Amino acid sequence: MKIVRTITIENPLGLHARPAAIFVQAASRFSSEIHVVRGDIRVSGKSIMGIMMLAAEQGAEIVVEIEGDDAEECIEALSAVLSADLEKDGQ
């Protein structure tokens, strides 16, 4: 099954190293293929360097594409991770 969802970055500092790591760690728990797209760049959702390369600042829209058996659980987990206060959680 394939799920595509657009998510707006709310973190005031954007998707920097720490939140990127939290996102990637959450993503790596699932067997689904995960890609994150911003503009014309599409990277693996399980790669910290990839997520950091997107340089998604506060207010930026990213598209999360998930394909696999656990896609549904995965999109919920990743949405929760992105909407949570990643700054605080990352400490």
Under the binding rule (CB under 8 A), the answer on residue 38 touching another protein is no
Phi, psi for 36 (deg, rounded to 5): -120, 130
Catalytic residue among 3, 14, 16, 33: 16
CB distance 23 to 81 below 8 Å = yes
Under the binding rule (CB under 8 A), the answer on residue 13 touching another protein is no
Cβ 58 to another protein shortest distance, Å:
17
Dist. CA 88–CA 21, nearest whole Å: 13
The tokens of 9 are what?
């970055």
Residues designated catalytic: 16
Q: Where along the sequence are the contacts to another protein (CB under 8 A)?
A: 17, 28, 39-44, 46-50, 52-53, 55
